[in-house]
Structure 1
Amino acid sequence: MDTVSISLDSIHPEKHDDFRGVKGAWEKAVNAIKALKAQGILVQVNTTVTRDNYEEIERIFEFVEKLGVENFHLFFLVPTGRGVKIEDITPEMYEEMIRHTLKILPRYGLNVKFSCAPQFMRIMQQTHSQMRHIQSNMRGCIAAFYYCRVCPTGDVTPCPYLPIKLGNTREKPFSEIWFNSKVLNDIRNPDKLKGKCGKCHYRYICGGCRARAYGLTAKFIDFCGGLHEPAELKGDYMAEEPWCTYKPEGSHSR
């Protein structure tokens, strides 16, 4: 075991416990980080950005770095599963959070990654920012390109937050699903994007969050434990990214 991922959503125990729904979760998470570092194991901390912790993200950076954490993932809420009922930050707050994080990164030794916020690639280009782990061929979202979800049942979906069932590995080879799925091939083709995403010249490096587009064009709350249950198509996964403030030339959206 080389790396362990642990969620930590606040430097305040009560706020983290409330968000995770388990009393004492913060203390257990911090103790686990300390125990892992004592054994020389790499740790990745995941923080979901919400209205409750928006103002303390930099303090979380400082806190986990002092604990010896190497990797930090900022997760931006997607309206799926339990996330449907959580009050999200505004699109403008998303944009500001990404810009501010890119600005302060040089102060820390953390390897930071933005999850479910593909517009960070656009913002990086606009601000000429650099991130240590970013490769030249990387996209804002890797779902359908380098990644998908395979459930214990064999069901395959593009990612945990995009619950469209693509097929089942117990019924056909994974390679057949991966290469022949219409949904995956649609996502791989930025020229098929709709709305302002389809007009945006950053679509090849960003592409918008397909799960967020799907979730906000569908009416669903299905649960499979803590993850969304694979289901038939209900929303438009190629719709424009609803939480992006950028207005490309020729677009009349928002």
Structure 2
Amino acid sequence: MSLTPPSRQHRPVRVNHHDPAQRPMIVIWESTRACQLSCRHCRAEAAPGRNPFELTTDEATKLMEEVLSFGQPAPIFIISGGDCFERDDLFEIASRGVQMGLHVAVSPSGTKKLNLDSLKKLQDVGVNVISLSLDGATKESHDGFRRVPGTFENTMAGWEAARELGMKVQLNSVVARHNVMELPDIAKLVLDHGVMTWSGFLLVPTGRGVDLGALTALECEDVLNLFYDMGETVPVKTTEGHHFRRVSIQRHVLEQAGADHVEAMKLGPLYQELRKKTEALGLIEGGRRRRPPINISSGNGFVFINHVGQVTPSGFLDVPAGNVRDSSIVDIYRNSELFNGIRRADLLEGKCGMCEYKTVCGGSRSRAYNSTGNIYAEEPLCAYQPGTFPLADRVTELFQAPGQ
């Protein structure tokens, strides 16, 4: 069954109003792999020095001009790294992007360069959105993960400086074995300090994160349901956790039916323990409007350009479809075999290929590829067995197949 939301009245999942095969919602440019941190999960395996073959200032400008040619509304253009503050021309590039009409955001690392002065310079050239990473609720857990003392304090200070300037902040947190029990504590920091969104990143085994200790599929189901629980208190979303969309649909249906989600979804002891801690911190039933996850994914509403210009579906799916130095990013995104293939739900294999939620979820193609070498393999961290949800008829009522 192909699922598309019929109306805005009931939206457990948001759908891009523009064809994601023609125009991405988000473009991320890895401006450099230089970074002074040595994070345990780094997909880029960043190093202290810059690569001499990085895109130049003018090449970055040309890239941004091409991104604008996707059409309006223009994609969000995120300058990431490594650490984007390692580029001396960051402010010039950001200024050029803003002046030409792009929505420019930056994603810096938690170093001393993340401070009030540097953020004010970004704001002065028109950047008002930043993305920060916090992977533990204490300096011991966060700094242990980032492997450089002081990163927790730098990140918290940068977060506070951004809020002082009135900038919007997205906070990103890796979800792995080392910090899973701290997720409620991180959520409490999010509630107390304020963010635009808080994104839980389900670890993809790539770069230095290959042997980091990802959760099991059943544990991920528990965590995704916890995220749903916290949705009325903090603006939570997921990165590489596409089955959060399926969980959101199922939880919505169960709530409408007055059914017990723990029993219906066979949630485990990790959920029970996290839920108890979350309730104790006052993070359940906060009264805010729930933020439904949006139906975009690698290569389908999202595109990544690395430091030397290679275009991939995401930073965690390191399979180049071309290079912006010799091809148009618009042409690569719209017409390459890789991008067209990754957008086809009918090519999915295993459980994903049989799943009734495949056009809403589709699983992490990055995780499938890095786990099996096959982009179309089933999502390794999804415990759901297709066809087993007990209120399938109610899902059908919410999400009708096109043409019906």
- TM-score normalised per structure 2: 0.54
1:179 Cα deviation after fit: 1.6
Task: Tell which has more relative contact order, 1 or 2 (C-alpha 8 A, sep 6+).
Answer: 2
Q: Which residue of 2 aligns with 1:145?
A: 300
- Which of 59, 81, 102 matches 2:185? 59
The reply to whether residue 248 of structure 1 matches residue 372 of structure 2 is: no
Q: Which residue in the other structure is 2:370 paired with?
A: 215
Alignment match of 2:313 (pick from 158, 161, 167): 158
Which of residues 324, 332, 352 is equivalent to 1:177? 332
Q: What amino acid is aligned across from residue 205 of structure 1 in structure 2? A: V
Deviation string 1:136-164 (CA, Å, 9 cap, x unpaired) is xx32x422111110123221011000000
* Corresponding position of 1:222: none
Find the counterpart in structure 2 of residue 127 from structure 1: 251
Change (3 A) 1:70 1:176: closer
How far apart in 1 are the matches of 2:194 and 2:222? 27
Q: Which ranges in structure 2 are unaligned for 5 or more consecutive residues?
A: 1-126, 256-288, 389-404
The 5 A counterparts of 1:78-117 are 78-106=204-232, 108=233, 110-117=234-241
Q: 1:70, 1:211 → 2: CA distance? A: 25
Q: Which amino acid aligns with 2:131?
A: S
**125-134 vs 37-46, which deviates more?**
125-134
Task: Report the AA paired with residue 51 of structure 1.
Answer: R
Correspondent of 2:140 among 10, 14, 21:
14
Per the TM alignment, residue 70 of structure 1 is displaced from its structure 2 partner at its CA by 3.0
User: Deviation digits for residues 185-212 of structure 1, max 9, x if unmatched?
Assistant: 1111101101111111100000000011
46-55 vs 141-150, which moves further: 141-150
How many Å separate the matches in 2 of 1:65 and 1:128? 23
Stretch moving more, 206-215 or 63-72? 63-72
- Aligned-residue offset at 1:48: 0.4
For residue 357 of structure 2, the aligned residue among 181, 185, 202 is: 202
Match of 2:174 among 28, 48, 66: 48
Q: For 2:132, what is the secondary structure of its paired residue?
A: strand
1:128 is paired with a residue of what secondary structure? helix
Q: 2:377 aligns with which of 235, 239, 244?
A: 239
Q: Distance in 2 between matches of 1:101 and 1:164?
A: 30
Q: Percent identity?
A: 36
Deviation at 1:28, TM superposition (A): 0.8
Pairing partner for 1:118 from 227, 231, 242: 242
What letter matches 1:198 in structure 2?
G
Q: Take 1:184 and 1:132, find their aligned partners in 2: how far apart are those partners?
A: 31
Radius of gyration: which is bigger? Answer: 2
Shift of 1:105: 2.0
Greater shift, 146-155 or 17-26, is seen at 146-155
Report how far residue 98 of structure 1 moved: 0.5
TM-score by length of 1: 0.85
Q: CA deviation at 1:64?
A: 2.4
Counterpart of 2:280 in structure 1 is: none
Return the offset for 1:171: 1.4
Aligned to 1:188: 343
Tell me which residue corresponds to 2:80.
none
